[in-house]
A and B are shown apart, each in its own frame.
Chain A
Amino acid sequence: DAGVIQSPRHEVTEMGQEVTLRCKPISGHNSLFWYRQTMMRGLELLIYFNNNVPIDDSGMPEDRFSAKMPNASFSTLKIQPSEPRDSAVYFCASSLSGGPLLAYEQYFGPGTRLTVT
């Protein structure tokens, strides 16, 4: 099993540019999570999808952030326009859950390190 796949692994962009992060969850998993990790704030949940439907987006920082899951095997996290404070490592995780509100083992991808200058 290839595990959760994320691309790109590293992204350096200038302030104001659009950034798109991509995730392919583990085949057969029905839940997908986007997290952000910084030294100051640790790991924070940004958004959670179950069966391709956004269940909880309360962690999305502001309107500059958006996420989509057009099908069970692909999700994107977009930042437009990007700002230096968005610099962080962004992780995608997936799980096979028995219900949209239940906790099950989450498998994390390798992350995308985003640097906004």
Chain B
Amino acid sequence: GESVGLHLPTLSVQEGDNSIINCAYSNSASDYFIWYKQESGKGPQFIIDIRSNMDKRQGQRVTVLLNKTVKHLSLQIAATQPGDSAVYFCAESEDSSYKLIFGSGTRLLVRP
């Protein structure tokens, strides 16, 4: 099984509520950001991306907000569903390069 390691921060929300997952990044040269969702036993699944020339980008039920001033990224999920329960990772890259640096992740638990 899994080795003992870091405990992921956990966000618990009621089904139907909106969820906001936050991510801080430290590299001011990062200009490409992605959010991934990882369900137990599966690989990361692309959710949405944003480049630094944008502050906001919307997808289906998800919105990513980028605040370059404070180096902060957030993922908003509208009307959270049980199927949204997973670990969410933000990832960044510098100079829009292929080399993604992944955050440590946030676990989202959706209460029925």
On chain B, the residues within 8 Å of A34 by CB distance are none
Nearest CB of A to B112, in Å: 27
User: Is B93 an interface position by the 8 A CB rule?
Assistant: yes
A4-B43, A91-B43 are contacts. A40–B6 as well, Cβ < 8 Å? Answer: yes
Number of interface residues of A (CB under 8 A): 30
On chain A, the residues within 8 Å of B42 by CB distance are 110-111
**Does A101 contact B44, Cβ atoms closer than 8 Å?**
no
**Does B32 contact A43, Cβ atoms closer than 8 Å?**
no
A31-B98, A56-B99, A103-B97 are contacts. A91–B3 as well, Cβ < 8 Å? Answer: no
Residues of chain B touching chain A, judged by Cβ–Cβ distance below 8 Å, are 2-6, 32, 34, 36, 41-46, 49, 89, 93, 95-100, 102-105
Residues of chain A touching chain B, judged by Cβ–Cβ distance below 8 Å, are 4, 31, 33, 38-40, 42-43, 45, 48, 50, 55-56, 87, 91, 93, 95, 97, 100-111
